Amino acid sequence: KQWYQRRVRGQIGWRREGIKYRRNELFLDVLENVNLLMNAQGKVLSAHVSGRVVMRSYLSGMPECKFGMNDKIITDNKDKENNSATDVVAKKKNAGIAIDDCTFHQCVKLSKFETERSISFIPPDGEFELMRYRTTKDISFPFRIIPLVREIGKTKMEIKVVLKSNYRPALLGQKIEVKIPTPQTTAGVNLFCNKGRSKYKSSDNAVVWRIKRMAGLKEAQLTAEIELLPSTENRKWQRPPISMNFEVPYAPSGLKVRYLKVFEPKLNYSDHETVKWVRYIGRSGLYETRS
């Protein structure tokens, strides 16, 4: 009842009245974590993207914002009470981004989302999370790891790893780290890589390969020659997966911001006068390749 009365009086619980800024600005970040488990032959065993749309709003008055993603969105939303929408499918001309589920901040007008297919809201002041979503289809994987493990007798092993970047050549991936597990009986490692730096960490039983930056559609290679201590055990080494960390300037789910509009009829500023910034950041979640 109190919520209903607040709405009737025109009050909004998440934003106070009388906010003023010299310069009206809106920052929108699409932040995604891409998770992957791939086998050595390149077959995807499991994958999903967890995404968030985070905004920082520095707008005067009581503005209404409209945010649109990848053309038309079709949703079947039956759960208004907890502000969630399920089965969202955004269709592009050739390919579609299929969002399995998403949840919105309380400021989003779900009725407008259902009827107009746009996300309409009066934003809180400062930073807030506009929406959260998850997708499992048509993911663009930023990197592919191709491993080759060769056992040379009982005391030597060679691991070759080819790293391929799958994004557009104009983009730069950064903070790239590949962790290659080694057997517990490792006595010494000789490393050769044509890009970045690599070192053997005995405390982790792994080779860590770091590359500061890598352009799209490029390839890098690392070779590890491993000397093993003689072992009386006949048990074969159960190879743990090779894991990766990285950051790329695009959304692996394919989500794109089509428009971001601001309306404030009471104060004399227009959508064109509002400075808007949109940024995409894709990061690794659990990103693994079996060797």
Q: In sequence order, what DSSP letters do the residues of 8-75 get, joined into one string?
A: HTT--TT--S----SS-EEEEEEEEEEEEEE-TTS-EEEEEEEEEEEEEEE-SSS-EEEEEESSEEEE
* Nearest CA-CA partner of 66 in 107, 9, 24: 107
DSSP for 245-263, written as a single string: EEEESS-TT---EEEEEEE
What pLDDT, on the 0 to 100 scale, is given for residue 11?
59
Residues in the chain: 291
Compute the CA torsion angle 11, 12, 15, 17 (nearest 10 deg).
-20
What pLDDT, on the 0 to 100 scale, is given for residue 237?
85
Conformation bin of residue 273: beta by default, left when phi > 0, alpha when psi is -120 to 50: alpha
Tell me phi and psi for residue 12, to 5 degrees.
Answer: -125, 120
Give pTM, 2 decimals: 0.86
- Per-position b or e across 8-34, b if 16+ CB within 10 A of its CB: eeeeeeebeeeeeeeebebebbbbbbb
Per-residue pLDDT of the chain (291 residues; tens, 9 = 90+): 333 333 444 558 899 999 999 999 999 999 999 999 999 999 999 999 999 999 999 999 999 999 988 843 443 333 333 454 444 443 334 445 778 888 999 999 988 777 776 899 999 999 999 999 999 999 999 999 999 999 998 899 999 999 999 999 999 999 999 999 999 999 999 999 999 999 999 999 999 999 999 999 999 999 999 999 988 777 788 899 999 999 999 999 999 998 999 999 889 788 999 999 999 999 999 999 999
